[in-house]
A and B are shown apart, each in its own frame.
Chain A
Amino acid sequence: MTVKISDDVFERVEEENLRQAEEALSKGIYEVAENLGVLTLIKAGLMTQLNIMGYHIWNKIKEPKTISQLAEEISKDFDVPYETALEDVKIFLKDLIDSGFIIYE
């Protein structure tokens, strides 16, 4: 079973916030980067924002994939153990699946 972005999601990159988050990451100021909303998502009156890490994962789901595939990619990208990436991915997906932004296929 794969996960994918629901067809009726509107998304907008908050470009200035993204630049600030990238700059903060490059300087190792993770707390600033974590707290900046860089992608705004809207679906049927619901709205949410993702930070730069969420944005990274979101972009990976543009192509539907299984949760384990996603965790493997995150594990490689961030050089973290697969189990850690899998836990993080599950946490990330939970709210987005509950609110219908991401769906199972």
Chain B
Amino acid sequence: MNNFFLNAPLTINISLSYRCNFTCHHCYSREISPTEELTFDDFKKISQILSDWKVPFLNIGGGEPLLVSWLFDFVKFSNQKGLHCSMNSNGYLLDKEKAKEIKKAGFTSVGISIDSPKEEVHDSFRNKKGSFKRALSALENLAEENVKTTVSMVISKLNKDDFEEIVPIVENYKVKQLYLHNYKCSGMGYKNMEKLDLTPQEWKEFYKKALEVRKNNPHITISFDDPIMHLLPEYNERPLVRGSTCGKLSLNIHSNGDITPCGFMSVKIGNILKDDIIKLWKESPVLNTLRNPVPQGKCTSCSIYENCLGGCKARAFIMAGDFNNPDPHCWKEGGDNR
């Protein structure tokens, strides 16, 4: 079988609001416009649409989801419609009471962002004193309620050399999975790119090291979301979907209902409440471009292009205005040096 195609995405990333209690240096959404927010009733309609479309997983981001007053009612409603809901939070507002509400609402898991094993680095990066301690406290509160937790770390120059020290810390809080996210040059991430983003060679070294860390810590799942990792011979995962999964496995819905392939791309393909989502999924020229990449630049002479299909399309688009441009994080010079 070689004709992989889904009749609907498996995951929808949704932002109920872009309001946030943090002003992080890498935040992709700080610069997002419009910041219009649909109502709770509108979002219930969206859940119904997604449920009818047989989308199984709904991941709530933002903004800080815990600032949305009807968050738990929304999750309860979505659960009733058969959606499995998770969320990403900075954890600052996640006290014992909130953890109980999260459990009651039926979240399948909650991701907490921690961007350094060092308290002072995390607090500075997140621009909020006390945020590291609060993030750990959130994990503790969730563990007490037996809510599955994950930790998300965005890799930057600030943590590339000591990221592995987070593993023993989060293991103390029964964290099941650690996501090491690649840096996205989007929003504030674009503005602070020079200061925070790694060079292509540094990305290569980071991933090599991260794979070693993963090998040495089998009791926690360490996950990545960067298609250029497939350039490394030692990364032997061969997923069903090659390259970027945006627009192939997932879509992103903004707080005003606009749909983009992922949260880091500003290219709108439609609006969930105004357009026929099934038709968009099948016929959107943007999605079809993402699903049928054409190598450009150094990718044309790359013998392992099929492994990564040009890497992250959001980064390529942001930096070059073309999805097919080589991923700016790619360390290959062209030719076959891996």
Binding site for B on A (CB under 8 A): 10, 12, 14-17, 34-37, 40, 42, 44-45, 47-51, 54
Contacts and interface: CB of A to CB of B under 8 A. Distances in A.
A52 B337 CA distance: 41
B177 to A, nearest CB: 8
Given A12-B54, A12-B56, A47-B240, A37 B10 contact: no
A24 to B, nearest CB: 11
Contacts of A16: 7
B235 interface: no
Contacts of B54: 12, 15
Contact of A37 (B1, B56, B239): B1
Given A10-B56, A12-B56, A42-B10, A35 B2 contact: yes
A16 B10 CA distance: 15
Specify the main secondary structure of chain B where it touches its partner: loop
Secondary structure dominating the interface of A:
mixed
Contact of B6 (A14, A44, A50, A54): A14
Contacts of A42: 10, 56
Contacts of A44: 221
6 contacts: A14-B6, A35-B2, A35-B3, A37-B4, A37-B6, A47-B241
Contact of B5 (A15, A37, A48): A37
A97 to B, nearest CB: 17
Nearest to A32: B3
Contacts of B239: 47
Contact of A49 (B1, B56, B223): B1
A48 B7 CA distance: 14
A45 B224 CA distance: 11
Given A12-B54, A44-B221, A49-B4, 14 more contacts: A14-B7, A15-B54, A16-B7, A17-B5, A34-B1, A35-B3, A36-B3, A42-B10, A42-B56, A47-B239, A47-B241, A47-B249, A49-B1, A54-B1
Contacts of B2: 35
B6 A45 contact: no
Interface in B223-241: 223, 239-241
A43 to B, nearest CB: 13
Contacts of A48: 240
B7 A15 contact: yes
Nearest to B11: A42
A40 B10 contact: yes
Contacts of B3: 35-37
Nearest to A54: B1
B223 A36 contact: no
Contacts of A34: 1
B221 to A, nearest CB: 7
B6 A40 contact: yes
A36 B1 CA distance: 7
A93 to B, nearest CB: 16
B10 A45 contact: no
A45 B223 contact: yes
Contacts of A51: 1
Nearest to A47: B240
A46 B241 CA distance: 11
A7 to B, nearest CB: 15
A10 B108 CA distance: 13
Contacts of B221: 44-45
A101 B56 CA distance: 18
A35 B240 CA distance: 14
B59 to A, nearest CB: 14
A42 B249 CA distance: 12
Interface in B4-44: 4-7, 10
Contacts of A14: 5-7
B208 to A, nearest CB: 21
A36 to B, nearest CB: 6
B281 to A, nearest CB: 11
A34 B3 CA distance: 9
Nearest to B3: A35
A42 B3 CA distance: 17
A32 B134 CA distance: 54
